[in-house]
Structure 1
């Protein structure tokens, strides 16, 4: 491992979380666009129930993996940029990563709260977890609304992050080497 790379575990977690978040955003967009009934009409009630269970489960998994990633980042801090980046790039990059972490933690928690308040089970790959809130339909709707807004915010921040990655990949300035798998 060179001095300007994250550990292999951190790089694997980055790409695993990225793939899971991408799938979650696509799933959330599908749920929003079709609604529950529209999804049932297209794929049936059992597949719809499974899609929602997997969405909840993967959301919790993203939360757990993000917490692990933050712990690893505290244990093994980010490698230095070689060559160093300017102040503005460091501030934008650091803020983007912070927002990605906050949304990767906050969205699953918000989704679990919304699910619980709406009277649905919070599931983790077939296991039902205890409800976090008593049933309150109005609160559930409000929380799901904000969960959706957070999803849009996450999508925008992911696009910004990807645009910066493409920029640095094209510049071949060593930034992409820090997080690349090979």
Structure 2
């Protein structure tokens, strides 16, 4: 079908979607309970593992977002069939652009916040080198921005999902562009 993204584009879309969903849930737990609260609730080892996975999957989302942008440059988005109106194209394009920007900015700010706070930057079992000197005040500020960015991503995703559901209900073929099967 010529009005579909390539398989690799569709796969990266859904992998990013699944990971971002998990990252947002984890981020909400970190915000609501903090490390101490999670440690009391789940034990220190489990809380540490959750933070390690949050960092690791955040790095994966960053890498996959760059891959998705590179793939998009190689193979532009397929044409809408039937065509969308100007307003729908503008709103949809803006939401996609903002999602890409925040899927890059939020992990980068999280990495810098982690390093500034004196915490290790972990990618699963590997510890990556620090990218900034320790500055706990800067780290706290950046973590606040990281959390705010996560909330913005959640809002953008709600709009994106609502639009997808609208097109799915209309059965206008838009959802077939990004569906996996």
TM-score (norm: length of structure 2): 0.99
Shift of 1:126: 1.3
Q: What does residue 9 of structure 1 align with?
A: 8
* Distance across 2 between alignment mates of 1:47 and 1:158: 28
Q: What does residue 124 of structure 2 align with?
A: 125
Shift of 1:132: 1.1
In the alignment, structure 2 segments of 5+ residues that lack a partner are none
RMSD: 0.5
Number of residues of Structure 1 aligned to a counterpart in Structure 2: 181
* Distance across 1 between alignment mates of 2:124 and 2:155: 28
Q: What does residue 76 of structure 1 align with?
A: 75
Q: What does residue 143 of structure 2 align with?
A: 144
Deviations 1:81-139 (A, max 9, x none): 00000000001111111111111111110000000000000010111111111000100
Shift of 1:3: 1.1
* Distance across 2 between alignment mates of 1:58 and 1:4: 31
Q: What does residue 23 of structure 1 align with?
A: 22
Structure 2 matches for 1:1-182, cutoff 5 A?
2-182=1-181
Shift of 1:9: 0.8
Superposition misfits of 4+ residues, deviation over 4 angstroms: none
* Distance across 1 between alignment mates of 2:4 and 2:129: 40
Deviations 1:130-163 (A, max 9, x none): 1111000100000000000000000000000000
* Distance across 2 between alignment mates of 1:87 and 1:122: 43
* Distance across 2 between alignment mates of 1:132 and 1:88: 42
* Distance across 2 between alignment mates of 1:71 and 1:168: 26
Secondary structure at the counterpart of residue 98 of structure 1: helix
